[in-house]
C-alpha cells in the first residue's frame, strides 16, 4: 500500500491555496506477493478528507445514498443535455433507458456501497484521520522543496479549515515523520524564522 502526491501542471507559481485545491493523492493497493497494483484510486486531497468525514460512524449509509443520488442526477442531466440526439437515434433510446434503470437498481446501490467501503479501507490503511492525510501531503511537498514551512501551514489551514501557524505545523510534521519512520524534513532554519514573523503579522 502506498500513497503518491501529484500536483497538476500550472503555468508560473501558484499560491498555497491553489496548491491545496490542485494536489492529488493516488492510493494504490499492491499485491503482497507479486508487487502488482491491484487497485489505484486517484482523488484530490480534499476528496479524501471529505471521505473520512462522510464515513465517520453513524453516517455511512447516508453517504452511500448521497453518492447514489448524485450518480442518478448526473445520468439524468446527461439525458436532458443530449435528448435531441437521443430522439433522432432510435437505436440509442433503449440503451439510455436501461442505463437509467440500472442507476436506480438495488444492484447498483450495493456496488456503490462496496466501492465506497473499498476506497475507505484503502485510506484507513494509510491514514488514521484527515489530519494525517494533510500531514502526508505537506510532508512530501516539503521534502520535494515544493513548499516551505509557511506555505505548508497555509495548505494545511486550507485543507483542514482551521488556522495553523508555520511553527506549529512544522512541529506536527516533524513528530509525524518520526512516528511513521520517515526521514526528517531538511529545510533552512532561516525560513522558519521568516515564517514565524509572518505568522505574527
Residue 118 inside a domain? The answer is yes
Number of domains in the chain: 2
How much is the average pLDDT of 162-177?
Answer: 95
Is the CB of residue 130 less than 8 Å from the CB of residue 50?
no
Residue range 54-94, pLDDT digits in tens:
777 667 777 777 777 777 777 777 667 666 655 665 555 55
Count Cβ atoms below 10 Å from residue 158 Cβ, excluding itself. 20
Residue range 141-159, pLDDT digits in tens:
999 888 899 999 999 999 9
Residues 28 and 64 in one domain: no
pLDDT over 80 (residue 186): yes
For the chain, the residue count is 201
Sequence-distant (≥ 6) Cβ neighbours of residue 17 within 8 angstroms: 154, 155, 158
Q: Long-range contacts: 44-49, Cβ < 8 Å, 24+?
A: 45/20, 45/133, 45/134, 45/137, 45/159, 46/20, 46/21, 46/159, 48/123, 48/127, 48/130, 48/133, 49/130, 49/133, 49/134, 49/159, 49/160
Counting residues of the chain whose pLDDT is more than 90, the rounded percentage is 24
Residue 16 inside a domain? The answer is yes
Residues 118 and 143 in one domain: no
pLDDT over 70 (residue 99): no
Residue 53 inside a domain? The answer is no
Residues 33 and 132 in one domain: yes
How much is the average pLDDT of 153-167?
Answer: 94
If one compares 190 and 33, the residue with the highest pLDDT of the two is 33
The whole-model pTM stands at 0.69
pLDDT of residue 104: 66
Residue 145 inside a domain? The answer is yes
Residues 142 and 195 in one domain: yes
- Look up the domain containing 38 and give its range: 2-46+127-200
**pLDDT averaged over every residue in the chain:** 77
Residues 37 and 72 in one domain: no
Residues 25 and 119 in one domain: no
Amino acid at each position: 500500500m502506498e500513497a503518491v502526491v501529484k500536483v497538476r501542471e500550472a503555468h508560473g507559481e501558484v499560491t498555497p491555496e491553489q496548491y491545496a485545491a490542485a494536489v492529488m493523492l493516488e492510493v494504490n493497493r499492491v499485491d503482497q506477493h507479486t508487487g502488482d497494483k491491484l487497485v489505484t484510486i486517484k482523488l484530490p486531497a480534499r476528496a479524501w478528507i471529505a471521505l473520512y468525514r462522510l464515513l465517520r460512524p453513524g453516517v455511512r449509509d447516508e453517504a452511500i445514498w448521497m453518492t447514489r443520488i448524485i450518480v442518478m442526477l448526473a445520468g439524468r442531466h446527461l439525458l436532458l443535455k443530449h435528448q435531441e440526439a437521443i430522439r433522432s437515434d432510435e437505436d440509442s433510446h433503449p440503451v439510455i433507458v436501461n442505463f437509467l434503470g440500472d442507476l436506480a437498481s438495488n444492484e447498483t446501490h450495493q456496488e456503490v456501497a462496496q466501492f465506497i467501503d473499498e476506497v475507505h479501507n484503502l485510506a484507513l490503511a494509510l491514514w488514521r484521520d484527515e489530519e494525517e492525510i494533510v500531514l502526508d501531503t505537506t510532508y512530501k511537498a516539503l521534502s520535494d522543496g515544493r513548499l516551505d514551512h509557511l506555505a505548508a501551514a497555509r495548505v494545511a489551514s486550507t485543507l483542514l479549515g482551521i488556522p495553523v501557524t508555520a511553527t506549529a505545523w512544522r512541529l506536527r510534521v516533524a513528530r509525524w515523520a518520526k512516528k511513521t519512520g520517515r526521514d526528517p524534513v531538511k529545510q533552512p532554519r532561516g525560513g522558519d524564522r521568516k515564517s514565524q514573523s509572518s505568522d505574527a503579522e
